[in-house]
Chains A and B, each alone.
Chain A
Amino acid sequence: MKKIRKYIDNSNLSLFRSIIQIIFFIILVYGGFKAISISEKIPTFACPYNVRTGGTCYLINIQHQLHSEWAGFITWRGISVLTALLTFIGLFIILNKSWCGFICPLGTIQDWLTKLRRLFGVRFSRYNKTSFKSLKVIKYIVLILLLVIPLGMSNSFFGLPKITEDMSAPYCQLCPARTVLPAATGDFTQFYIDFSSTTTIIMTTLAMIITALFFVGSFLKKRFFCFFCPMSALQFLFAKIGLLRLVKVGNKCTSCGNCSRVCDIGINAIADDLENKFIVKDDCMMCFKCVEACPENNCLKVKFTGLTIFRSTDEGFFKRFSKTKDYNITIDRKLSKND
């Protein structure tokens, strides 16, 4: 058992993650060719606008389901809304936020863009503390709008006129996944400006601007979009009850800052926060790069239902970061009793 544990702790998790990302990218974006469909309520992006999608993102579901009168929620429609939400939570709990880190195709595209930038040696951008704090709120505003607008379309709030039908599935119209994922299968029909009414003109132009922002942003800033994504905001409401957990032992931390430096999203709180154990912050995507980069034994641990499946060890750290090919030293530690 200890041998397996040691092998896992020394393993190169980033390699493993990029393999998983590729696999799920194929499943979620090209699943339709083989009629694979994971489920209609996945807690990650798998855009139904992409005809060949291998599953459907839950956001479009919830927007359609909320597009009904108040009375509707008491009838069978309310039950279907509830069951949809429960399946979403059920799926989400298993992998917690690592749906974003390991599976989301949009995230995978952003990681590839980062690798591209790295090739050209362009410097990455990083938010300083103040802008990080202020930009953090956007994804919650988007989530609230995403839930309120469909309701506003079918019921009039405080006597105001109902929102026009053109705004159906408001977030999906603006979401970069609608344009990017179908493009990945070669279908560029989603790149259009719809002139049929002023609302559609505004919405589709915004969508195009957001797509441009998506490409430029994630080329320069690692995981640019994930910072504004309402799915991560929706997920965070249930992150605390997830089975997969990232736990930090505060007093083992030497606050060396490695974890916040390698964090793609640039979360500083993981290095500064020494108090609470459950260290997943709201924009964390649980890609576990921080656990790989932590040189302290047992400081950062990945637990699945209480069982530690991956933890930070100094041996693992040196195995991952140093090269020993032209030295006659090997990095391995005899299994000592107090491990």
Chain B
Amino acid sequence: MTSMSNRMINILVPVISVILGLLVGAIVMVVSGYDPVKGYIALWNGIFGDSYAIGETIRQITPYILAGLAVAFAFRTGLFNIGVEGQLIVGWFAAVYVGAAFDLPKVIHLPLAILAGAAAGALWAFLPGLLKAKMKIHEVIVTIMMNYVALYVVNALIKTWSGGGDKTERIKETASLRSDFLASITDYSRLHYGIILALLMVVLMWFLLEKTTTGFELKAVGFNENASEYAGMKIGKNIILAMVISGAFAGLAGAMEGLGTFGNMYTRGGFTGIGFDGIAVALLGANTPLGVIFGAVLFGSLKYGALNMPNAAQIPEEIVQIVIALVIFFVACGYAIRLLLSKISKKKEAK
């Protein structure tokens, strides 16, 4: 009985949070003299309006899923990987490099390019992991620094590779995640097969954490290093492993951009933001694989759909940003809503 209502609550909480966020967002729009109804219709159409929008929304969700997984996986082992951004950037570059530099049949080329992205991300996360494991240096600060290093080093690499240019070569067809089929059914959107990979990774993370001895160890170490050591687990190994896997997810997110959305890489003036949003995505999803999907869908949809609010409802960018932030904020405050609901359901039971 109570467990039933609990499950109900678990589903209701995020929903209500989102609605609340949108409500407050509406108030902001009204106060600043814009029509929230028009605005939200535009948002809705921006997300689901037509096959093109749907395709692009999914395309936008894809890297968020992977970035979310990266952050979530680290958190489950008690590590805060704030360096997903940098791992994503190196992953993007590595994937594009392999995708452009070699001539191979698709069955080899595409997987190879994807793996390159994952490997680069993993490598970028390995160092913070190593420093944490061997010298107890806090991963947050190292990963923040590694973000900037990634940004500038990759820019420099692009220059060197392109002989002073501002962007890499385009990847070969054989390394592309895009397909005419997907384009045709979504009216020329950039939807690519990455979403399938992303979902596979969700399953993989779930499997790793919930089914394997490795996952058991990672979680144990995350909760209590002393007891884990007592139980014969290798603390250092697990910390490094967790960072490396997390980095691999992040690198894949980059590969999605490189092999799917863009097909090449420009020198960057700043970060993509996906890595940082990934933090919110992961925690909104309570660091569970399924939760990450929820978080990514929420973030991706809002982020892409929002583009249509200035386009179709003349609502300024900034207001849209405020609305998005509010939604995130309210979803984060789920506990308050949970409290309310449980009070209500208690009253019901009382009767």
Partners in one complex: no
